Structure 1
Amino acid sequence: MKDLVTGIVAGAFSAFYLVQTSSVKIFGGATAGVTAQTIPRLWGGALLLLSIILILRSLLAMRRAKGREEQKMGLVAALKERREVVCTFVLLILYAVLMKPVGFIIMSMLYVYLQVWVLTPPEKRTKRMHTVAGGLAVFFSVGLYFVFTKYLMVMLPPGILKCGGHIMDLSLLLQGT
């Protein structure tokens, strides 16, 4: 039952992801049918295929176990047991949906922090873990923004950090001026 829930959640996410790949802009100069949509579609298709395999494998295992006396787990219990998987997909979807209005930096900080919290066992969630997760979230979000915008020349959504028509220049902030 655990794999069935995981497969269904992953399948729904991959279907959503594949639909969203059609909004990726295609620029001229594509060779041999390879465009900006090619890799996202391959990833989405691979995830969908793996999800279908996981669902089929789970259904076959349930059929084999049907004859044996096994405790049936309800959907809510299965979701609670796979809490990390479900929460990760919810966080990814929220990250993608809120990226443009809120902005890359803030959403990345929230995502990294919350993902660390989700993946940390409840008994190990200490004040130190929260501090480390917060530090990692800030470091990686600001660092990635800086690398993508300054070196790779990839514009990322500034969201609410867009100040007076200009995107807040993080290089000035990092230099302390």
Structure 2
Amino acid sequence: MDTYKKKELVVGAVMLCAGLFYLILTMNLPRKGTIDASTVPYVLAVALCLLGFLQLLGARKAVQPEADPDEGAPKTVADYPTVLKTLALVAIYIALLETVGFLIMTVLYLYAQFTVLTPHDQKVKHLSYAITAVIASIAIYFTFRHGFDLLLPAGFLDL
């Protein structure tokens, strides 16, 4: 068995084991009904198990590619400032979430993250970023609050 096939099998086995571990942890969550806070973890655990199983099946027939398709492509340089800005934004979001509240912090975080992730050669679209951040935050808030019956930090708004 060649090295490429072994690597593919290892990836599939690790995915399947991680999915099974996650599924076992999910089974320990308290249940309130058919659709509750544990529904999404169940879906994710089953999906991870399925992907691991499919990876194992595909690895049996795996053939090492003749040439690397990215061989002639120009090398990209890691953008460390963007990574550091993202980590800082996540840390600020977590630190202020309880005090300021989910809606306000999520709008601010999403808008700032959209701005950070905008490529340098493109113009920042402030209005569309702000509208997208507001709509996404409201949709997420009401989905969790009324759909899953979970309380999110209200902060200043106390809805």
Q: With structure 1 as the length reference, what TM-score do the two structures score?
A: 0.46
> What is the aligned-residue identity percentage?
32
Instruction: Determine if the alignment matches structure 1 residue 143 to structure 2 residue 139.
Output: yes
Letter in 2 for 1:146: F
User: Matched residues in 1 for 2:144 and 2:157: separation?
Assistant: 16
Pairwise CA RMSD of aligned residues?
2.7
Inter-partner Cα distance in structure 1 for 2:145 and 2:115: 28
More helix by share: 1
Which residues in structure 2 correspond to 1:104-119 (within 5 Å)?
A: 104-119=102-117
> Match for 1:93: what amino acid?
A
State the Cα deviation string for residues 129-172 of structure 1 (Å, max 9, x = none): 1111111100000110011001100100000112xxxx2xxxxx
Distance 1:133 1:35, change over 3 A: same
Deviations 1:41-79 (A, max 9, x none): xxxxxxxxxxxxxxxxxxxxxxxxxxxxxxxxxxxxxx9
- Flag structure 2 segments of 5+ consecutive residues without an equivalent: 1-23, 31-40, 42-77
TM-score normalised over the length of structure 2: 0.51
- Unpaired segments of 5 or more residues in structure 1? 1-29, 40-78, 168-177
Q: 1:124 Cα deviation (Å)?
A: 1.3
2: CA distance, partners of 1:131 / 1:31 = 42
Amino acid at match of 1:133: Y
Residue identity in the other structure for 1:158: A
The residue identity in structure 1 corresponding to 2:141 is: Y
Q: CA deviation at 1:34?
A: 4.1
* Distance in 2 between residues matched to 1:143 and 1:130, nearest whole Å: 20
- Structure 2 match to 1:93: 91
Between the two proteins, the alignment pairs up a number of residues equal to 91
Distance 1:97 1:143 in 2: 22
